[in-house]
Structure 1
Amino acid sequence: MTTRQVMVGLDGSPQSEAAAVWAAQEAQRLGSALCLLHVWPWLSGENVDRSNPGDLRPAALDALARVADRIRLAHPGLAVEVAVRPDDPVDGLIAEARGQEMLVLGSRGLGGFAGLLVGSVSLAVAARATVPTVLVRGKSPDHDFARGTGEIVVGIDSRQPGEAVLDFAFTEAERHGATLRAVHGWDPVPAWAFGGVVLPPVDLPAQKSTESALLSGHLAGPRARHPGVTVVEDIRLGGAARAVLDAAAGAELVVIGRRERRHHVGALLGPVAHAVLHHSTTPVAVIPHP
């Protein structure tokens, strides 16, 4: 039986090495092994770009080994493995991560070894991966992820909350010893004219009460399963993306959901996920759910 690992995609960029630092801390909390992975098509002698003659595998393995040594020094006892895969970066990362605990990427994109477009790989992987995918915005391997408010933020859609999203958020809060802030951003249903009839103004207190009751109801099950987690219910007027981003300032982790789809045509990340991933300076976990 294969042990599930925390897997981190490395490409030689400072952002990906910062992601490896975060992933190492998470692997230690989980009690799992850490795998440092580099994916690029030209890693075998059978598939060599004429502009880059020779196999790039040795250089990639050397670079991974240097990062692995630094992580082992900082986390004695943590099992650290390295691996390379000759493949398209998006397809290879998704394939290697399947069945693992989680996949961690630098949120600036995988561009250090090969100069890919900024953010293209990370966003594509987050949109399609079958496991929780964490995008980390740290600027350098020395970034201090320990500083924060002691909170984990989870964005919740009161109509389609996603059980997997809530379970992941509660479990992470438990592991981190953090307070879980459950954020629901909402916009009021506006008054409008139809057929010459103007509907009455919105009753904001009543709508807020309804949204609050929906949020509490969705949290009841996970709260019972994780009684040690302190939960703050946070209802904010003004839209989901803004609510999550405002709440995320200084948090240890932001958790958002992504609905799984049966096809890979078009954008698979919703507008809220896109906004949070592009603007959050806090690590963001994207959780696929039905």
Structure 2
Amino acid sequence: MLTKILAGVDGSPGSRDAAALAAALGSAMGATVELVGVYHDPRVHRPGRHHPDPQAAGALEAVVGAIRDDLAPAATVRVLADHAPARGLQRAAEDDGASLLVLGSSEGGETGCVRAGRVAKQAIRSAPCPVLVVARDAAPVLRRVVAGLDGSAESQLALAAARELAGATDAELRVVAVVDDRFPVSHVPGGVVIDLADWERIVEADRAHTQAMLERLVPEAEGVERELREGDPTDGLVTAAIGADLLVVGSRRWGRLSRVVLGSTSEDLVALSPCSVLVVPRPDTEPDVSSP
């Protein structure tokens, strides 16, 4: 359940997109919204002894406040210093117990598509909560949501998040599972050998297993559109997301601090998706998400 939504704001067009969508989601889901600006402070301070730069803080607060007044009037504003914007956003999300961090795409990408910049990628890897990267110039509305499902715990959490978002915004939900039909490659001395002998049997078994998983986790009675695709998972999800407003995928956590780890598919999607992308990490303790 989304209760606190943070949006990273720095005055860029992408951050305006983030603020607008965060405000729309907050209104639809009854969540509080905070716009967070981080200004650069290269100095290392003793704990409890940091004194903000009033000029830098004031300038950024004016920028963030103007965006708040224009796009998210119900939001609060927070400005803080850090030597790295992504680290500052991480700190804000942890301090506030955020349930979602919303970030904009970097400049230079195509309208309607996601292009996660350096800060967004770093924030995804360090954030303690799901991260939504908003497509460039995206309308602050969800009409069609696509969830990628592979049966893993993190993808099931992504499905739960997609259900929640679609339900709160009256968006259409489509659940897509992709069977990877690429040839398994074995590296041996002297070259590469591709095993073709039982490939059709292996693909058919994977297809049957994935279809059964899709039917179990997304029952027909739920009335949600289901789709089974074959091929490269990234290509399959990118194609499925054409015309959608949000693609929701799972990602793993790793290590003592339980941070997000992007797999190869989610890494590609935050750079290639034709719509906004929500990356949902596996939690420290896994709830039962096997049924709607």
TM class by shorter chain equals: 0.7 to 0.9
The answer on 1:183 being equivalent to 2:176 is yes
Instruction: Tell me what 2:288 maps to.
Output: none
**Kept in 1: contact 2:254–2:260 (CA 8 A):** no
TM-score under structure 2 normalisation?
0.77
The answer on 1:251 being equivalent to 2:258 is no
- Residue 260 of structure 1 aligns to a residue whose secondary structure is strand
**Amino acid corresponding to residue 60 of structure 1 in structure 2:** L
**Kept in 2: contact 1:43–1:85 (CA 8 A):** no
Instruction: Tell me what 2:67 maps to.
Output: 67
The 1:168/1:187 distance shift into structure 2, 3 A limit, reads: same
**Amino acid corresponding to residue 93 of structure 1 in structure 2:** L
The answer on 1:33 being equivalent to 2:26 is no
Moved more, 246-255 or 54-63: 54-63
Q: Which ranges in structure 2 are unaligned for 5 or more consecutive residues?
A: 44-49, 108-115, 189-194, 284-292
The 1:156/1:201 distance shift into structure 2, 3 A limit, reads: closer
Instruction: Tell me what 1:114 maps to.
Output: none
Instruction: Tell me what 1:135 maps to.
Output: 133
- Measured on the aligned residues, the alpha-carbon RMSD in Å equals 3.3
The answer on 1:209 being equivalent to 2:226 is no
Question: Aligned pairs, how many?
Answer: 258
**1:280 positional shift:** 1.2
- Residue 23 of structure 2 aligns to a residue whose secondary structure is helix
Aligned pairs for 1:27-106 (under 5 A) are 27-42=26-41, 46=51, 55-72=55-72, 79-87=74-82, 88-98=84-94, 99-106=97-104
Structure 1 vs Structure 2: percent identity of aligned residues?
A: 26
Instruction: Tell me what 1:113 maps to.
Output: none
**Kept in 2: contact 1:41–1:47 (CA 8 A):** no
The 1:43/1:206 distance shift into structure 2, 3 A limit, reads: closer
The 1:43/1:173 distance shift into structure 2, 3 A limit, reads: same
Instruction: Tell me what 1:262 maps to.
Output: 255
Moved more, 230-239 or 203-212: 203-212
* Alignment partners' CA distance in 1, 2:208 and 2:243: 28
**1:188 positional shift:** 3.0
**Kept in 2: contact 1:173–1:180 (CA 8 A):** yes
* Alignment partners' CA distance in 1, 2:218 and 2:139: 31
The 1:242/1:46 distance shift into structure 2, 3 A limit, reads: same
**1:8 positional shift:** 0.4
Q: Which ranges in structure 1 are unaligned for 5 or more consecutive residues?
A: 49-53, 73-77, 110-117
**Amino acid corresponding to residue 180 of structure 2 in structure 1:** D
**Amino acid corresponding to residue 275 of structure 1 in structure 2:** D
| Post-superposition CA distance 1:225-281 (Å, at most 9, x none) | xx5xx31111111121111110111112110111000168x9931110111110113
